[in-house]
Amino acid sequence: MNDGSSLRTLLVGIDAACHRVLNPMFEDDTLPTLERIYEGGASGPLESQIPPWTASAWPSLYTGMNPGKHGVFGFLSFDGYDWDVVNATDVRERTLWELLDRHGITSVVVNVPVTHPPREFDGALIPGYTAPEDPDCHPDGLLDEIREAIEAYRVYPDEDAPDRASAYSDCVRMRGEAFRYLVDRFDPEFGFVQFQATDSIFHEQPDDDAAIRSIYRAVDRQLEAILAAHKPATVIVASDHGMGPYDGTEFRINEYLRREGLVETARGGRGMPTWATVRDDSLKQGEDAGRHAPGVAERAMAIAARTGLTSQRIGAVLERLGLDEFVASYAPTGLVNAGTTQVDFPDSTAYVRSRIELGVRINLEGREPDGVVSPDDYEAVRTRIIDALRSVQTPDGNPVFEAVRPREEYFHGPESHRAVDVVTVPASFDHFLSATLRADQFGPPSEPWNHKLEGTVAVHGAGVDPDAGVGSAHLFDVAPTVLSTLDVPIDERMDGTALPCVDATGGREYPRLDAGRAVETADDAVEKRLADLGYLE
């Protein structure tokens, strides 16, 4: 369609892709386009970061830096004991396309997570995950233009669609069609299109092989159409993490910390839910959760909780009766929250705020609004937590954690103070860590499949040396590799290096991004979507 396309480097992000998932589909020729890229270029495993979750890992991939530099450690950001879903204003380093803009290179970016609201650069951007359903795009008015050009465009799948896999495949098609339209419209040298459905389907239907394959086939078809239309000189396929079965146990770390005397609890209130990951379907998109006023039922539930009839106790009874999932799907969020026994953050010594962060936060005086741990006692408390968690074993006598270490062993940079104080890495990523408070410290994993540390990368093109391979590829290496294919100097502060299969460009010092002040996401529809996928507890 466009033999004279300007596109030089195409970066294809496939969330949660890994060889465990891809190889069976390569063997039976389900994914011919992807298979050609892998077989004709250099490919191999891509080690993810800690934590290996979408909201933090994609910013690491597209900045080339660890979260201690770019500032996003999970789906949530914290201000004292308050929280919000992260957005692009939480990313404190330049993205690939912003760095390329400094060199006069135009980019088209479609569906990449944590890119809303977009910052200005030469090119076009449609945000992905953590954006609202009707996001701000760059340039202004682009979303309406896209919807007119390809008839429909959604950030998230249609919740009312009768078939989930079909709804996800529709989103995949929209990504590809929007990307091709924008490449024709803006003539970029760099393009980045990301597919999220390849992750989401595992959180919702991990045992539905037909659904998983249908979504991957849709990705392969869109990739084939992009390559036919625009013929980029270099194609890079990368994932943010892998996906696999969790054959171990669920460890409820806040329950453990409560029994260690570190977590205090309170009954009732509007904190983060601790019985089930539910959201009220009636919440309107974009409504500020802070404006919610408790109704009669919520006030009654809070009173019942203070007398001991908590959501956890009700949930335990429903679970024994096999009704817990049914009730959770209909129970309004506010009602469940009002009735839970929750972590009392201001009165606790330490706690897990979000399981996605893979770590424990200390309620430090002078840092948290009501901190109870003095700076003089910080290291002693942290050492106590590390020693205690290192000794935890599953009911079968196996270690729960592969590593329990201070945060500075994983994060370095000006945003490291936003990280957890103690990093907890589950053994082989085979155990599910939960922040919930329950009667038992252990239970079956809430999700039978979840994130693994090993993703995948492939690099294909005329300037790629397949024999050189990808070496010990790491998530941080993707951005330097992209820059090298475009002959752009690598930012010396990046934590990765160009993969061996491409000729690396030299480095130079770039001034750090002046990111400005973070803004709130404040979108209940986004929170509901994250909760539905198990990212918010």
Q: Residue 232: pLDDT above 60?
A: yes
Average pLDDT over residues 284-307: 44
pLDDT band, very low/low/confident/very high, at 278 (cuts 50, 70, 90): very low
Query: What distance in Å separates the CA atoms of residue 57 and residue 44, rounded to the nearest whole number?
Result: 18
Average pLDDT over residues 441-469: 96
Same fold, 9-228+450-530 and 247-264+344-446: no
Tell me, what's the pLDDT at 326?
52
Q: What is the pLDDT of residues 5-40, one digit of tens each?
A: 899 999 999 999 999 999 999 999 999 999 999 999
Tell me, what's the pLDDT at 310?
40
Tell me, what's the pLDDT at 271?
46
Q: Residue 383: pLDDT above 60?
A: yes
Tell me, what's the pLDDT at 376?
98
pLDDT band, very low/low/confident/very high, at 323 (cuts 50, 70, 90): low
What is the average pLDDT score of the chain?
88
Q: Which of 233-242, 294-303, 356-365, 449-458 is predicted least confidently?
A: 294-303
Q: What is the pLDDT of residues 115-174, one digit of tens each?
A: 999 999 999 999 999 999 999 999 999 999 999 999 899 999 998 888 989 999 999 999
Tell me, what's the pLDDT at 466?
97
Side chain identity at 57, as an amino acid letter? A
Q: What is the pLDDT of residues 342-361, one digit of tens each?
A: 899 999 999 999 999 999 99
Write down the architecture of domain 247-264+344-446 according to CATH.
Answer: 2-Layer Sandwich (3.30)
Average pLDDT over residues 61-74: 98
Average pLDDT over residues 60-86: 95
Report whether 31 contacts 216 (CB < 8 A): yes
Q: Residue 54: pLDDT above 70?
A: yes
List Cα–Cα distances, 214 to 112, 193, 220, in angstroms.
Answer: 21, 19, 10
Q: What is the pLDDT of residues 197-207, one digit of tens each?
A: 999 999 999 99
Average pLDDT over residues 504-528: 82
Average pLDDT over residues 299-312: 46
pLDDT band, very low/low/confident/very high, at 290 (cuts 50, 70, 90): very low
Strand order in the sheet with 359-362: 350-351, 359-362, 422-426, 401-406
Query: What distance in Å separates the CA atoms of residue 192 and residue 124, rounded to the nearest whole number?
Result: 11
Tell me, what's the pLDDT at 28?
96
Q: What is the pLDDT of residues 103-119, one digit of tens each?
A: 999 999 999 999 999 99
Nearest to 294 by CA among 325, 276, 271, 316: 271
Query: What distance in Å separates the CA atoms of residue 521 and residue 72, rounded to the nearest whole number?
Result: 14
List of residues 6+ apart from 375 with CB closer than 8 A: 364, 365, 366
List Cα–Cα distances, 276 to 326, 332, 421, in angstroms.
Answer: 11, 11, 26
Highest mean pLDDT (candidates 77-91, 324-338, 468-482): 468-482
Q: Residue 319: pLDDT above 80?
A: no
Per the model's pLDDT, the better-predicted residue between 97 and 313 turns out to be 97
- The residues pairing with 110 across neighbouring beta strands, listed in sequence order, are 126, 193
Nearest to 55 by CA among 114, 110, 5: 114
CB atoms within 10 A of CB 79: 10
List of residues 6+ apart from 514 with CB closer than 8 A: none
Tokens 């945060």 correspond to what residue? 407
Tell me, what's the pLDDT at 537?
75
Q: Give the residue extent of every domain in the chain.
A: 9-228+450-530, 247-264+344-446, 278-340
CATH superfamily of 9-228+450-530: Alkaline Phosphatase, subunit A (3.40.720.10)
List Cα–Cα distances, 58 to 128, 240, 309, 327, 393, in angstroms.
Answer: 11, 6, 42, 34, 32
Tokens 């309170």 correspond to what residue? 266
pTM above 0.85, yes or no: yes
pLDDT band, very low/low/confident/very high, at 240 (cuts 50, 70, 90): very high
